[in-house]
Structure 1
Amino acid sequence: MSESVQTVTSPGASPDRAPIVLTQKTVWVIFGALMASMFLSSLDQSIVGTAMPTIVGELDGVQHQGWVITAYILAIAIVMPLYGKVGDVVGRRWPFIVAIALFTLGSAGAGFAGSFGELVAWRGVQGLGGGGLMILSQAIIADIVPARERGKYMGPMGALFGVSAVIGPLLGGWFTEGPGWRWAFWINIPIGIAAIVVAWIALKLPSRRNPKPFDYAGGGLIVLATSGIVLLTSWESIVGAEVGYDWGDGRLIALALATVAAVVAFVVVETRVPDPLIPLRLFRNSTFTIATIIGFVLGMGMFSALAFLPTFLQMSTGAGVTESGFLLLPMMVGVMATAIGSGIAITRTGRYKIFPVVGLATTALGMIWLTRITGDMSMVLFGTMIFVMGAGMGLVMQTIVLATQNSVDPSEIGVATSSNNFFREIGAAVGTALFATIFTSRLTENLSGAFPTGIGEGGGSEAGLTPSVVAALPDDVRAQVVDAYTNALAPSFWYLIPLVLVGFVFALFLKEVKLSNEAGMVARGEAVAGH
């Protein structure tokens, strides 16, 4: 930041508190704490995946293993809107410290879990903190850095999501094969403690008081609605793949009806309360609406693609758990390069519309290219494919958050930020569930067609296939299994491409609002620019 920022006493702040000067050094210290916190939260969405077979086997939870991931995603999605609103109402310092503490506590509890139920419960606690870390980190940057200069800070934040999506499986595999899966959780403890200390010392943000009553009804309804959506999209992993989406199941029908009712009730309540949790008038802002739609479709496409590529690599190349993560490194490089590069370019030019337009077009081209994958393809070619897709995603993720924050009143930065992230998270849950259904049905059909009497001499079923089992099959049988996976995965990307193209079309209509030269706290009268 080219100028320092000096805080002044806000209406709810303590009158005897000395003004604080946010120098360039202080901003970078805060930024470091925010980056560490965001990395912790995003990493834990992917680190458990590769360690899952070992974890559920040791804790006797194989039949319900989906809950380990579902509990975390559910908790994150539930609290995102709540943290955004609370931060706007009372200030962001204490909610941020509480979020770090919850995440660190949940990590410790998950690492020491003695049963599967304990693990799921502590993963939920992790998520309650993780959702706050994601939202408040982005909102705090908006508080202390003007939108005109924010790109160079938010670019690295966007790169973190791509980095964690690749590093997570790598670390999960390494811990599982090395010191043990519990270290996948314990590694968060020292980082979390360090983040709390830095936040306590450096994160000097004003507190506020809101004379309007908090929207408890909206909060309760959005918890119910979000829970229903996540549980519906995770239904197959909860009840078991062999049961699946049986719409004759009364539980499933009741859950769907309750979810719809909660969504409708939430919309009604938000139009009537004096200070709504998510002000629906924000959707009359075309920039906010378009950026939110783009976040939703990107979440559907990005996380769906990332979820199944490691499995394909393990089956087709014989790569181990850790090695398959290394093969995804080109995607991480693509995300980092374009997220950071676009952030710097936005800071220099003040223009941002071109990046989501080009990014979504590039992401779509990368997905089209991925429909050409084969079991025996060169890993250099595969790396180039996923580099292209990662480069496209890196241009979009944080740019739309910046556009969202810049388009709303400074008093609603937290709500706007949380809404954008919330819909992206919901998109990821819905997209992954739909993609999993398409891929799994195709795979089952391909394998049953290739092996009508079962796989191998023992007539084993496709449900028992693991990378080690496939590697031990005779060459001709293994080739058929790999082909079945390839022919199931490659065409499935065609279902994601229209979603990304919808986002591309919306991006063409994204208004380029002039980037503000005032930090959020300055615009709200809580700080003044120093010289």
Structure 2
Amino acid sequence: MAAPVNPTERSPLLDPTSGQAEDGTTSRESVANGEVFFSNEPTTLQMTKATSGVFLGIIFVAVDSSMIATLSAPISSTFGSLSRLPWLVSTFFIANAAIQPLCGKLTDIYGRRDGLILSNIIFSLGNLMCALAQSEWVLICGRLVAGIGGGGIAAISTFVLSDLVPVRRRGVWQGIGNIFFGAGSGLGGYFGGWLNDYINWRAAFWIQIPFTVLATILIFFTVNIPITNSDTSKSSKIRQIDFLGASTLFASLTLLLLALSSGGNIVPWLHPLVLTSLPLSLLFLLAFVLTELKVAAQPIIPVNLLWDWTIAGACLTNFFSSMSRFALLFYLPVYLQIQGYSPSETGLRLVPGSFAAALASLVSGVVIRSTGRYYRLGVSSQVIYFVGMSTIVAFNLKTPAWIPFVSFSVTNIGFGAMVSATIVAILAVADQKNQAVLTSALLAFRSTGTVIGITLAGLTFQNVLRSELWNRIGDIDHADEQIKRIIADLDVIWDFPTALKDQILQAHMSALTAVFAVILGMGGLGIVTSFFVKDITLPRKAKPSDSNR
């Protein structure tokens, strides 16, 4: 192997000859599988330079995801489509679930930098579509496009960090990344609400575009991870990518969302749309599983590796935690807005929780680096989340303003700690050649859980709300028309006389209590799966094949 070269301020962050034999060919199988090796670990200054554009992109993906939480009600009111809120939210994460598992192999072939640049361009295009949208379905398509770009940014950023640092330090850098994500999440909710209050919700999409362009420029000049050599041609590598698996997963999730968001809401449960969509969703899910087991040369979710208790436990914990946390993220603002808070005031109350998640992730990474242990941290994180969620189930219309503030922060502490603990757990037990695909699988479980969680929460909210409204105000004149107005537009609540308004608010509170109970159950399942992870002590010094990454 080529002699190590100490990096300088002027040398590339990655040594292009690392991992090559003296004749310049790749000398390690893991290099051929997309692994990147350092002659030495990068310094903090080198890491800062290499990740500047990466973290800027992460910030605005986070801004986008939290901003839509506070803007979903105003946007739905603009188009009179509160009942379609799950589509507005879930399409972004469906796109995440479909694209993220493909990012590892695609960027092994075409490079991390090109992948990040393309993802930022697609993300900007999606936001442009949202800013210009004149109908709800154009806006939903824009969210889908933004989800493809945002999913690529999130996934490839994780790969870049994995390429640059050894496993024991990854928790720290994952935590730093989550600090930036937390900053975006915290400020995005408030900033989006503020723009809506003083300009309009479209401005929230416009303002992201120049910053995403800046991130693209920084990535072009600072990310320098060379594509590894391989005897396999690009065309052969592309044929091995599991496009069929990604397509069947996308179809299954989309049809599931269509059925659950329509049934009992837009059409009756026995309507042909629902009766067709649900079986087709299950059929595509079966096709996805068979593709992963029998067809795909390199499956996006390696089902055979899920027999490992640690890998299965980490993936399922992310699945259930994301189901719970993101459903809460999109329905807690609804609770705050029926208490009379504006979108900007609602966003402001979400800020501490987002920073709590980021800080918890960073602290967890430091703890893992110091102790070399992650099992107890992972279980404890789920218990903390469950405790915080338990208090949220007890909310009512008279709950003091400081309690949601504290409860949401506690749940986010649990979620943030879980993110660091589970990714380290997977990387600790995985072979190097499987680390990228397992990281992608972890993200796919997280995105899929997010879609299903938001969809189930939306199903619960819409059906309980409709039932409660009929029970409480079903005897008023033109009840059917009025109830449809209330379900479609949150803002019309304040147009009713006080007596009716109180009944409508109580109906919303009953629906939200049901949603919070479902979310609590999801969090409980996360506790159960966190026990599946094996307790392994990480070595204090990285192995040569890892420390040189």
TM-score by length of 1: 0.86
- Asked if the contact 1:90/1:207 (under 8 Å) is kept, the reply is yes
Aligned to 1:310: 333
Amino-acid identity (%):
24
- Asked if the contact 1:84/1:415 (under 8 Å) is kept, the reply is yes
Deviation of 1:339 (Å): 1.9
Pairing partner for 2:251 from 224, 227, 233: 227
Task: Please tell me whether residue 87 in structure 1 is matched to residue 107 in structure 2.
Answer: yes
Distance 2:206 2:432 in 1: 38
Deviation of 1:62 (Å): 8.3
Secondary structure of 1:324's partner? helix
Q: Which AA in structure 2 matches 1:129?
A: G
Task: Please tell me whether residue 9 in structure 1 is matched to residue 17 in structure 2.
Answer: yes
Deviation of 1:91 (Å): 4.0
Aligned to 1:292: 315
Aligned to 1:414: 436
Task: Please tell me whether residue 218 in structure 1 is matched to residue 238 in structure 2.
Answer: no
Distance 2:175 2:14 in 1: 25
Secondary structure of 1:199's partner? helix
Aligned to 1:392: 414
- Asked if the contact 2:101/2:444 (under 8 Å) is kept, the reply is yes
TM-score by length of 2: 0.83
Aligned to 1:203: 223
Deviation of 1:345 (Å): 1.7
Distance 1:43 1:455 in 2: 43
Distance 1:118 1:223 in 2: 22
Residue ranges of structure 1 left out of the alignment (5+ in a row)? none
Pairing partner for 2:213 from 177, 183, 193: 193
Deviation of 1:482 (Å): 2.8
Task: Please tell me whether residue 301 in structure 1 is matched to residue 321 in structure 2.
Answer: no
Matched ranges for 1:356-371 at <5 A: 356-371=378-393
Aligned to 1:31: 51
| 1:127-180 Cα deviation digits (max 9, x unpaired) | 221111111111111110111112221113335555545543323222223333
Residue ranges of structure 2 left out of the alignment (5+ in a row)? 1-5, 8-12, 26-37
Secondary structure of 2:225's partner? coil
Secondary structure of 1:300's partner? helix
Q: Which AA in structure 2 matches 1:192?
A: T
Tell me how many residue pairs correspond in the alignment. 519
Task: Please tell me whether residue 283 in structure 1 is matched to residue 303 in structure 2.
Answer: no
Pairing partner for 1:261 from 261, 273, 283: 283
Matched ranges for 1:29-428 at <5 A: 29-52=49-72, 67-113=87-133, 118-159=138-179, 164-209=184-229, 211=232, 213-215=237-239, 218-235=242-259, 237=261, 239=262, 242-244=265-267, 246-249=269-272, 251-272=273-294, 273-315=296-338, 317-428=339-450
Distance 1:342 1:178 in 2: 38
Q: Which AA in structure 2 matches 1:193?
A: V
CA RMSD of aligned residues (A): 3.5
Secondary structure of 1:461's partner? helix
| 1:473-494 Cα deviation digits (max 9, x unpaired) | 4444433333333233224433
Pick closer, same or farther for the CA change 1:306–1:56 going to 2, 3 Å. Answer: closer
Deviation of 1:185 (Å): 1.9
- Asked if the contact 2:240/2:297 (under 8 Å) is kept, the reply is no
Deviation of 1:61 (Å): 8.0
- Asked if the contact 2:94/2:451 (under 8 Å) is kept, the reply is no
Distance 1:114 1:325 in 2: 25
Mean alpha-carbon deviation: is it higher for 228-237 or for 71-80? Answer: 228-237
| 1:249-306 Cα deviation digits (max 9, x unpaired) | 1x44443333333333333333344433433222132211110000010011111122
Distance 1:187 1:354 in 2: 42
Pick closer, same or farther for the CA change 1:528–1:330 going to 2, 3 Å. Answer: closer
